[in-house]
Chains A and B, each alone.
Chain A
Amino acid sequence: MTSSAPDTFPKLLLEHARLRPSRPANREKDYGIWQSWNWAQVASEVEALACGLSMLGFSRGDKLAIIGDNRPQLYWAIAATQALGGVPVPIYQDSVAEEMAFVLDHAEVRFAIAEDQEQVDKLVAVKERCPLLEAVIFCDPRGMRHYSQPYLHDYTDMQRRGSERALGEPSFFRAEIAKGRGNDTAIILYTSGTTGRPKGVVLTFNNIISTAKNAIEFESLTDREEVLAYLPMAWIGEHIFSYAEAYCAGFCVSCPESQATIMADLRELGPTFFFAPPRIFENILTQVTIRMEDAAWAKRKLFRYFLDIAKRAGSPILDRKPVPFGDRLLYWLGDLLVYGPLKNTLGLSRIRVAYTAGEAIGPDLFTFYRSLGINLKQLYGMTESSVFLCIQKDGAARPDTVGAPIKDVEIHVAEDGEILFRSPGAFQNYYKNPEATAETKRLDGWVYTGDSGFFDSDGQLKILDRAKDVSRLKSSELFAPKFIENKLKFFPYIKEAVAFGDDRPFVTAFVNIDLEAVGDWAERRNLAYASYQELAADDAVYDLVQGCIEQVNRDLAAAPAVAGSQIRRFLILPKELDADDGELTRTRKVRRRIITSRYQPLVDALYSNRATGYIETEIAFEDGRKGRMGAELAIRTVGIPVSMVEPLPFKKRVEA
């Protein structure tokens, strides 16, 4: 980067407004049509907002909490805050009031911008406990008429006052922006916290901009990309893809109409650059599978036939590898009849680059999308690294690796398998948490990721699991729970799975059924059920899940390294694991320790000879009330191939 290049996002914004004023910068579907704003308009929106904020008393170094679904106004609020030398602090919009209060308090937030009444209510509820919080701005005035709190401000009013001031004092905005430096704090992002309290990751403009630029160069992204912003704004991935990269490359970011319309909006928009965590790809596949099950006989046949062709020929064609002419022809026909229309329905026709990360992705799931001709790749990164550490190159995408380190990133695998990195994107510190910072970012600049992994022969990094989660069975065979859980979750009927086996004689599992898929399956079999709990306890559903587990066991038996991890016993949980109950993180990762302790009686039952287990759990309702739920659950023992019943001595089997 040369010294004259813009080193903050507000400077980048001004540059785009100058270079490509009439290119679209933001779109939002509202009242049924896509409304759009070009870069010049965005610049003036941000200017008015920044002036409005400063009239409320916002000054350099202040923090602005941002709470809500993806809305252009909230992205502008990030830019406006940064223009004023403040620090945006996005908060997960589905946080309960308590979680919100922690972040507001910890980050010493003075100003907050909330999308709607729902979020304002939470802020009003915690206002007492956050004495620093001075002003709350709301975007959607609906239902806000009778709120008399003096600290509430309407976005439109504030912005209008701001634009009047901007007219009167046109140099203010640019002067404030000019004060910004690349090594100023750009944003504080609170990690969802798989363990303990969330930590505020402090990133500078230099961190984010240099990482984003390297990633843009790696994928040759241009200002013509189309992106749909639909993941939580408080998550680093969303911030990088829908804000940082958009501001660096100058492409357009679109916001969906509502959370419920994302799939329809995706289809209308046809993004070229797309990110989704594995669970979204899983959901999409589940939808497709369900719809194909309901389709006519001929369509089903056609779908299955061409899917087999795709499995064989799709990935090699995408990777530009030699493929027999016959397969190529069939694939072309399949594209015409099945893959093309399918991708079009899903809104994935125009994808140039699609990423998945955050969790390991099931190999079958990964291959499914690639075989359709969607350039789905994996990457490796985290909040502490401004995302990009490794990205798979086009043509080198594999389901079990995360790619090689990109430009300027150094990766080192420690003796014990933990992955360390050093990069320009490496975070500054955890906000007001020097102990955690010292533990993660050592003096020589290496950041300890807490992930365990290794480089394979062609230089791509392979992630096993969180370092603390990889363990061994009693027989000292490797037990990587996530690996097993992902295999289970590939079945549309299984929404979530938790495998146990650490220092145990064999592997067992909890299963969460997918209500939509299993419900549909039950409906087609005229299976009556009144509730999730009843469906989950049904014998036929147990049979269905057992079938899935046997399939997984067969797959596991085929790979010597994990053959010992076959699932012996399982049960189906009577309730969905839920972030509100603390069982999943807000990004829907399993919180293993909490689940183990909460369901201890069930884990014990899995390792006993009993055919049932009893559990009573506390559940939190959406309105914050708590209730208790008791259930007697069936436990099934799964047949293990004969050779496994009396395991051969460890060493001998390795040779075999």
Chain B
Amino acid sequence: MKRVGDRILTADRITLAFGGITALNEISVELRRHEILAMIGPNGAGKTSMLNVINGFYHPQGGTITWKGETRRRMRPYHAAAQGIARTFQNVALFRGMTTLDNIMTGRLLRMRRNFLWQAIHFGPAEKEELAHRARVERIIDFLEIQAIRKTPVGRLPYGLQKRVELGRALAMEPELLLLDEPMAGMNVEEKEDMCRFILDINDEFGTTIALIEHDMGVVMDISDRVIVLDYGRKIADGLPKEVRASPEVIAAYLGEPHGDEVPAAPIPLRRAVAT
């Protein structure tokens, strides 16, 4: 079976505040090579903030991030991308007027060696380089089974396919760590099943480490190796899916009251109980 490797990323006691609101309160997260980590929690728990800290969009007030042995106070997005951290967004962030192919091609940008002028001339080494990148992109298109929309402007695609294109663009960076922010939001069952398969296949075929935020508990329990639960900027659980599901604190955060030894078998309701 699958081998989870050493630590690839350690976020140590991260604290992030916006004015008086503490979004993340001394949160430590560890990511091991080749694992799928799911972050769950009610709305506003700090899940997206945590991803944003990891890839450098937000700069935390406290704590450090260690990425592949190098410790920093904070990441910068450019650094993160150049060093193999790619992500997708909660709201699709593609170039709507560009085709699927071109959108995914932009994911290769950081790996292009020739400068703008060379590429404009598109001759010799520049052409050769583009062909090599195109070949990589075509493999991704094949992998995600989106051949039929290769030349379609993404603005014309249904939402589920746009999400898939966005995933394709992230993959084009050949990331070591892939951050997926609600990859399945707004999808129907069939699209979700496809997406799950793609995530598992990416993890499996390329060995990519994946951290994802997801609300569909069925999906989370199915595909992740480890689950972290955030609530009001605190980490309240961290462990195997079945451990997390049984944790009284998690049940309390989701349901508002302890359930004794009863473990909810069905998907955990997603709404936060009325705060008192």
Contacts and interface: CB of A to CB of B under 8 A. Distances in A.
Interface stretch (A257-265, A451-459, A522-530): A257-265
A258 B1 contact: no
Contact of B142 (A30, A143, A260, A622): A30
B165 to A, nearest CB: 15
A142 B201 contact: yes
Given A142-B205, A258-B145, A32 B150 contact: yes
B193 to A, nearest CB: 9
Interface string B145-166: 1011010000000000000000
Contacts, number: 32
B148 A258 contact: yes
Contacts of A32: 134, 138, 141, 147, 150
B142 A31 contact: yes
B197 interface: yes
Contact of A258 (B135, B143, B147): B147
Interface string A128-144: 00000000000000110
B204 interface: yes
A260 B197 contact: no
Interface string B197-234: 10001001100000000000000000000000000000
A442 interface: no
A591 to B, nearest CB: 27
Interface string A235-262: 0000000000000000000000110110
A257 B147 contact: yes
A145 B204 contact: yes
Contacts of A321: none
Interface string A110-124: 000000000000000
| Interface size grouping (class) on chain A | 10 to 19
Interface string A29-48: 01111000000000000000
Main secondary structure of the interface of A (DSSP, over half): loop
B145 A146 contact: no
Contacts of A264: 148
Nearest to A31: B138
Given A142-B205, A143-B197, A146-B1, A260 B139 contact: no
Contact of A31 (B1, B135, B148, B190): B135
- Range of interface residues on B (Cβ < 8 Å): 10 to 19
Given A30-B142, A31-B138, A260 B147 contact: yes
A261 B197 contact: no
B71 to A, nearest CB: 35
Contacts of A142: 143, 201, 205
Contacts of A622: 190
Interface string B166-191: 00000000000000000000000010
Interface in B108-141: 134-135, 138-139, 141
A143 B201 contact: yes
Contacts of B139: 31
B146 to A, nearest CB: 9
Contacts of A261: 147-148
Contacts of B201: 142-143
A264 B101 CA distance: 15
Contacts of B1: 146
Contacts of A257: 147
A35 to B, nearest CB: 12
Interface in A266-280: none
Contacts of B141: 31-32
A280 B201 CA distance: 34
A342 B204 CA distance: 45
A261 B205 CA distance: 25
A142 B139 CA distance: 12
Contacts of A33: 138
B104 to A, nearest CB: 11
Contacts of A145: 204-205
Contacts of B148: 258, 260-261, 264
A145 B204 CA distance: 8
5 contacts: A30-B142, A31-B135, A32-B147, A145-B204, A264-B148
Closest 4 interchain pairs by CB? A260-B148, A31-B138, A32-B138, A261-B148
Interface of B: 1, 134-135, 138-139, 141-143, 145, 147-148, 150, 190, 197, 201, 204-205
